A and B are shown apart, each in its own frame.
Chain A
Amino acid sequence: MSLEITAIFILCTALAVVLSAYDRKVRELNKLKVRKQEIEDKARQRAENIISEARNRALSILEEVKLDAGKEEEGVREKLDEVARLQVIDYKNKLHNISNYIERRLNEEADNFRIALETETIGTQQAVAKKINDKYARLEQELEEYKKHRWEEIESKLAEIIKQVSQKVLGKSLGVQEHSDLIIQALEEAKRKNVI
């Protein structure tokens, strides 16, 4: 029984200690909270001051800037206009250059095309003309050969015809006496040559 009481006593003591500590802590905590609140308030206040100050400064700066901006704006506008004008001029020049370049290139291309076309045409014409000439020359040669061959045939036949006609004409144009004389001449020739 005393043990229990002791234990209870200890426990109660401990409890008391704990409660006391707890209370202390709670109070510290509350102090801290208060302190924190104060700090926060101060900080807030300070921040507000800073902000206010900054705002005022910014406003003033802004005012200044506005003033300057107004002046600058004018200058910028002028500069922009100038730049724009220069840009336009430059753009126009470039356009003009491009146009000239394009025109020049087109003319060059057109000339090249024309030259190429002429060359091609002339070349084709020459090739065709050459082919025609070659074919003509071949045909001419074939014709000459054909004419030569036919002429040789005709000559041969003509020679034979003339010979035969001569034979017939000469034979009939001579009289009996002339034939006799020619036969006697033949006999005399044969005798001279010891045929008879």
Chain B
Amino acid sequence: MSSELWDVIKTKNDLEAAKEQLELLENGLYRRGAGGFERVLETRVREEFAEIIKRNIKKVNNAGINERNIIIHEIKKELTKAKMISITVGIDLPISVINMLHEWIMERMGEGIVINVIKEIDVIAGAKIEYEGRYGDYSWKKLLEAFNWREIIGNRI
């Protein structure tokens, strides 16, 4: 389950949304109608995440409330293992790029790492990376700041 889970939950937003949705599902276990488990799963849970949950429920024959509850808790437990990598970039990244970055991270760092994408225009290009208390600035902002502008301007004027 974990692999398919981390295939779907790629970002911090995804992680937080998944946690909220699991809460809603948990609350819906003992309800019927609009707030009921099935209804929430269909309408309030992201499609890919919902599919994972459905697949896990299907694996259990005649999964009742208790089985569903267990599945929810297992997913919750798995989600607590999530690690976060903060990547500060200079533009709004399209989904395709985020997916590509997630893939890169999964291949090299393993699964269970979600990306916290932060937009900071001053970064210009490149990225600032922060992971488990370690930090690195590989942005063009840092490169530009390294220039002695006064000297450059002075030599040209």
Contact = CB atoms under 8 A, between A and B. Distances in A.
Interface size of A as a range: 20 to 34
A166 interface: yes
A196 B101 contact: no
Given A171-B124, A179-B125, A187 B101 contact: yes
Contacts of B122: 167
A194 B129 CA distance: 11
A171 B153 contact: no
A183 B89 contact: yes
Interface stretch (B9-17, B42-50, B53-61, B135-143): B135-143
Contacts of B138: 185-186, 189-190
A168 to B, nearest CB: 8
Interface residues of B, number: 39
Contacts of B144: 163, 166-167, 170
B136 A176 contact: no
Main secondary structure of the interface of A (DSSP, over half): helix
Contacts of B91: 171, 176, 179
Given A171-B121, A176-B97, A179-B89, A187 B134 contact: no
Contacts of A171: 90-91, 121, 123-125, 140
Residue from A176, A178, A180, A194 with most neighbouring chain B CB atoms (10 Å)? A180
A162 B149 contact: yes
Given A163-B144, A166-B144, A171-B90, A182 B149 contact: no
27 contacts: A155-B149, A155-B154, A159-B149, A159-B150, A159-B153, A160-B149, A163-B145, A170-B125, A170-B144, A171-B124, A171-B140, A176-B91, A179-B91, A179-B97, A180-B101, A182-B125, A182-B140, A183-B101, A183-B127, A186-B128, A186-B129, A186-B138, A186-B139, A189-B136, A195-B130, A195-B135, A196-B129
Interface of A: 155-156, 158-160, 162-163, 166-168, 170-171, 174, 176, 178-180, 182-187, 189-191, 193-196
